[in-house]
Chains A and B, each alone.
Chain A
Amino acid sequence: MSSRSGFDALGLRNRRAIPLGAVPTESIDGFRETVVGAVAAGWRLVAFFGSPEDAERTRLLAILADDARGELGATSTFVHDRYPALTPDCPSAHAFEREIAEQCALLPEGHPWLKPLRRHLPDHRPVRRSEVVLDPDVYPFFRVEGEEVHEVAVGPVHASIIEPGHFRFQAHGEQVLFLEIMLGYQHRGVERLLETANPARAMLVAESIAGDTVIGHAGAHCGAIEALARSRKTPHAQAIRGIALELERMANHVGDLGAMSGDVAFQPAAAFFGRMRGECLNLLMTLSGNRFGRGLARPGGVAFDLPPTMRSEMRGRVERLRDELEPVAALLFDSASVQARLEGVGAVSPKQCLEFGFVGPVARACEVTRDVRQDHPYGIVRFAHIPVATAWAGDAHARALVRWHEVRRSLAFVLEQLAALPAGAPRASCGALHPAELVVAMQEGWRGEIAHVVLTNDQGAIRRHKVIDPSFHNWTAVALAVPGNQISDFPLCNKSFNLSYAGHDL
């Protein structure tokens, strides 16, 4: 493998910048062979995107991860207006190539499912090219023909306070035959904003990529900037960020367990989990002054310190929270009527997971042990390990179970860190970015792997900022998991994934 192009011998690690010149540039055939070969050999496609190189050409860059050894690889190629698609040989490139076709106006020839992903005009094409490969206004839905087949269209406006997305079901009675998900309603041009805004504003944009994953995206963004600026956070700041990230995970997992209970009309768990989600958010409020953790993570560390009195007060609250959560979780997981609803709904198989590269609790629920905190450790989790929670069935019940185990482990981690917070300054200086470098900053957000890939130009300004939210990988899992289920189970199934629309649409 290493002899082929050296994509894996770059010394690229999570949050360690390398010179952009070190990344191999191959012919398109060599590039295809490297990526397809690496994925077949067990590497995982973390990112695959285009960056305009000059007035005519686009540089395609693939970031690969070897989770077992904690290494990253990178390779690239130059293309003009089209290239042979990777998807037929490497399904995990499927969404990435639709994105490339849309963002860079490049045609991946032979892509089996070439439809708009977010339905916008190209915003990363070379200046001298003006064509559009995918018309944002044309979306050909897949249809099942037949007398008894009926089509149900849901959204983009939904009945509850969720984000907009369009779901098109082909159903036979109550049974779903096919589900197609059309997104893009939340497209704001996040990547362009991150590339053009001044650093202070870019930080705010990063915090707003997905409203429920503020710490996750802010942490990954800061990680990339810090690596490019060679800024070294103190262990104190790392621990505070770690606490904030786990609090965010707890808040969302607890909230989702409550929402799943609500979807199966199990009132007690829905009510209590709902209240305790609020407790988790209030802890973040104490830590950062914002219930969703906005304004906490900043390049170089954290904007707010955690004084000892606040620490002991938070410990008491976390302990109380733990004692209150245990019986409610027992109530949820011990109720036969709840188990009957969750088991067997929306199953994802390990094969699908490996093929399409799903991440986070979705992957861990089908026994694919994938967790950035373990595989590519960074910050405080290099010193304070959080065990990975897995389940095997891959269904809604397994996802709920994984989330609950993660809540317990996050609780233990937060208590441990609050009891013995390393000393030091909350924030170190973070200066200018090194020119012509590449960095990959990954972080295990509550939905799974968040990756920010940043390229700087020769002046040390950001040239390309690629954001990959876990939802980008996992929406495919929803589309695969629902067919064969009852249409009335779809909301429950969807909630068990609870993916971000904004994080996908960027």
Chain B
Amino acid sequence: MEIVTNTIFSIFGVPAPLSPVVALVAVLCFAPVMPGAANKTKSFLTGRRGAPVLQLYFDLWKLVRKGMVYSRTTTWVFRAAPVVVLASLIAALLFLPLDGRSAPAHFTGDLVAFAALLALGRFALVLAGLDTGSSFEGMGASREVTVATFAEPALFLCLIALVLATGELTLSGMLGAPLATAWPHAAASLTLVGLSLFVLLLAENSRVPVDDPATHLELTMIHEVIVLDHSGPELALILYGSALKLALFGALVVCLFVPRPTVAPAAAIAILLVGLVLVAVAVGIVESVMARLRMTRIPQLLVGAASLATLGIILLLR
């Protein structure tokens, strides 16, 4: 076993300690807590008892034991989507230094691969939605892509700001040790980038004010409507994928705000998980204090997020 891991590590040029992999496994196991924590916060703030924090684990367990129903209009595209979505997210997670030191995988310019992997997952999901031939899912696909069109440039602007602040061209570097040294002289920029990333987190994970994860109204949905036709284990993959995406963006925010290169690996992972819960609580608070935006206003919000990141870049260029 050790030989295998060491071999893999040497291929990817990672130092021997197992902490990046441990951190990755921890996040993979922990991800379903995030939607639960957000919902619990929302319930608490609106005077309800709410579902258990671990509800998604129960749901996933229930779904994997169920059968699947396929619409006759669907093809292999529909069936491939859940796997592609999940695989692309896990692959994207490999590039993040979850233990605060280094990522399981990194190479120069991997931030482009990171964004491309996110786009690949979305592309697969949108294709699956279109594959059903349902007018609802076509509408949802069109909306999802519209949101992505505005969200993706904002993400790149955030990453560019991080490149400028740290001088690193890998996610592993720009969110690892160099970030800690960048904070003292680039605090304003990094804060702006963090805020921008949080808005992106809300948009990419279809939370209020962009989308409403709790709605049952097909005509108003963005993300949820695309997956209406999925069932059983494939729906479980998609739900788990959504939780993982929330954890991924949460990890981006936590890694940005809490650089931990000097703490012990176990403590660094614990800090990450606590940070993820706090991000989920913040999402729950946002969902409890405001209504959803009108669909036509969403691009304005995302352009706002991009502007924050641009401002961060300008402050670094001075």
Contacts and interface: CB of A to CB of B under 8 A. Distances in A.
Contacts, number: 88
Interface stretch (A282-290, A333-341, A360-368, A417-425): A333-341
Given A159-B216, A160-B217, A263-B220, A337 B290 contact: yes
A340 B288 contact: no
Interface string B97-114: 000000000000000000
A154 B139 CA distance: 13
B215 A265 contact: yes
Chain A interface category by residue count: 20 to 34
A484 to B, nearest CB: 13
Contact of A265 (B47, B138, B292): B292
A263 B217 contact: yes
A498 to B, nearest CB: 14
Nearest to B45: A268
Nearest to A492: B220
B274 to A, nearest CB: 25
Interface centre among A150, A266, A272, A487 (most CB of B within 10 A): A266
A150 B297 contact: no
A266 B214 CA distance: 11
A4 B181 CA distance: 94
B135 interface: yes
Nearest to B228: A159
Nearest to B138: A150
A174 B294 contact: no
11 contacts: A159-B218, A263-B215, A268-B45, A271-B46, A335-B290, A338-B291, A341-B293, A486-B296, A488-B143, A489-B295, A492-B220
A335 B292 CA distance: 12
A267 B220 contact: no
Contacts of A272: 46-47
A340 B220 contact: no
Interface of B: 42, 45-48, 135-136, 138-139, 142-143, 208-209, 212, 214-220, 287-297
A341 B291 contact: yes
A341 B287 contact: no
A341 B209 CA distance: 11
A264 B212 CA distance: 8
A40 interface: no
A264 B294 CA distance: 9
Interface string A462-504: 0000000000000000000000001111111000000000000
B39 to A, nearest CB: 10
B136 A152 contact: yes
Contacts of A341: 291-294
Contacts of A127: none
A490 B291 contact: no
Q: Which 8 A-B pairs have the closest CB atoms?
A: A271-B46, A265-B212, A265-B292, A266-B291, A264-B291, A491-B217, A337-B291, A337-B290
A310 interface: no
Contacts of A153: 135
A305 interface: no
B26 to A, nearest CB: 31
B130 to A, nearest CB: 13
Given A152-B139, A267-B42, A271-B46, A488 B220 contact: yes
A340 B292 CA distance: 9
A265 B217 CA distance: 11
Contact of A340 (B136, B139, B297): B297
B46 A174 contact: no
A265 B208 contact: yes
Contacts of A337: 209, 290-293
Given A265-B215, A266-B291, 9 more contacts: A154-B219, A174-B296, A263-B215, A267-B45, A267-B288, A337-B293, A340-B291, A340-B297, A341-B293
A154 B45 CA distance: 34
A270 interface: yes
Interface string A112-153: 000000000000000000000000000000000000001111
A442 B53 CA distance: 52
